[in-house]
Amino acid sequence: MLQTRQDALGARLGLQRGAFEKEPFPGLDVRKDRLKRLLALTEQHEAEICSAIDADFGGRSAEETRLAELLVVRAGIRHALAHLRGWMRERRVATSLPFLPGRNRLLPQPVGVVGIVSPWNYPFQLAIAPATAALAAGNRVLIKPSELTPKFSALLDRLVGEHFAPDEMSVVIGDADVGKAFVSMPFDHLLFTGSTVIGRQVAVAAAANLTPVTLELGGKSPAIFDASCDLDGAVANVAYGKLLNAGQTCIAPDYLLVPQGQGAMVAAKLATAMARLYPSLRDNRDYTAIISERHHRRLGEMVAEARESGADVIEVNPVNEELGVTNRKMAPTLIRNAGENLRLMREEIFGPVLPIIEYGTVDDAIDHVNRAERPLALYWFGRDRGNRRRILRETIAGGVTINDCMLHLVQERQPFGGVGASGMGAYHGEWGFRTFSKEKPVFLQSRLSAGSLLRPPYGKMFERAFRLLKLMT
């Protein structure tokens, strides 16, 4: 069975690689045509995409999908279309004095066939945004979407087949075993979005083929309230950032650091802000369900462990509805005084559960962040420029938003990516184009070169030329 899967994947990879070898450097018009077809896929099938994702989640609003997925992808494609000519241009690079009048150039060249493994939490955005970058760079693309969103994955397979030839871009449907076979294929570049645990396995599998990888992972992304912050504004932003997609967002605030003595007050304000966003839960179409029963149980076990340990657990359930595994809705939950050995303090939560931790000084907050593995995102709220400077310079994170949540993700003129356990490499905008390109250095020798003076047979002429060369370098 495994050999059959690998043979089938090998055939699809071979089809795309053969097409790439016939057209190893697609021109601007070809690349723009592919991007325009990708934009058409996004714009013409919005209702179908929203419906499929809603069905897979068992409840996710079309508005949330339109805002957090379709709008982001549409903006990325349009940005690429507007700037692609400049990205493709061969760039001049300064030439050191000894090699003049020769010239240096950098030529961005497609790498070949790019494999993309996309997750379930934002199934459209996290498949199509990297595909945008790969197509802009002139590559062919194979996408393996998550088995946890089967309706969307089937839809994506159909839509890509309608808008693209199989040797341009296609979708591979299958379970976790298909995913393992997929990442073991000799792609020219592989991008994986998912958990750190699986990301390590992907990196090992890719290493066997020396396949370059971009890993977009996750981790425990902190939000920090400085003593100087606008507390009400900060609370409103964190409440929204945490509960978007019911917390199933890789850059959602995973825990909140607040000044000593403010924990109870902040928890009360957060509960009020969350109830304002979602005045009911079970039948509220605005509030997203947890993706699966397994993930719902995992979150429930984390909260139960915290409660049993003596932590303060606050469930934000404004009308006291009956929620559970069957409807996969989970009440927003705030947890104070949680011990550091608890699962929710050690593992990425990926749900609507927010631990609140008090800190004494800025040094304590920095130390708390730095004791853990490097997060994908960090959020700082405050007006004190000195403290902001310290947080930015003395902590390491994949990206930072100041006085809001998650907005660094949607900046097409900035790279997006992790660091350390939260990932490697980056994409979005020109950074994505560069990720999926080989920037080939080219040196153009001049007819006026004096290099022949440094060749055998060595003698007095070599010594004079070499002395001059030493002075110039």
DSSP result, 231-265 = HHHHHHHHHHHHHGGGG--TTS--EEEEETT-HHH
Residue 436 gets which letter from DSSP? Answer: T
Distance CA 293, CA 275 (A): 24
Residue 453 gets which letter from DSSP? Answer: G
Indicate the residue type of 213: V
Dihedral sign for Cα atoms in the order 244, 245, 250, 255: positive
Distance CA 229, CA 70 (A): 32
Q: What are phi and psi of 173, to 5 degrees?
A: -100, 140
Distance CA 51, CA 401 (A): 31
- Which positions ≥6 away from 307 have C-beta within 8 Å? 313
Residue 4 gets which letter from DSSP? Answer: H
Distance CA 166, CA 52 (A): 23
Q: Are 90 and 387 in contact (CB under 8 A)?
A: no
Alpha carbon dihedral 6, 11, 12, 18, in 10-degree steps, equals: 140
For residue 81, give the 3-state DSSP assignment: helix
Return the residue matching tokens 């029963």.
Answer: 293
**In this structure, what token pair is assigned to residue 73?**
């992808």
> Which residues are designated catalytic?
216, 250
Indicate the residue type of 320: N
Respond yes or no on whether the N-terminal peptide bond of residue 101 is cis (omega within 30° of 0).
yes
Q: How many other C-beta atoms are found inside a 10 Å radius of the C-beta of residue 160? A: 22
Distance CA 313, CA 388 (A): 30
**In this structure, what token pair is assigned to residue 68?**
């957090």
Residue 111 gets which letter from DSSP? Answer: -
**In this structure, what token pair is assigned to residue 184?**
């073991």
Q: Are 97 and 450 in contact (CB under 8 A)?
A: no
CA 299 to chain centroid, in Å, comes to 23
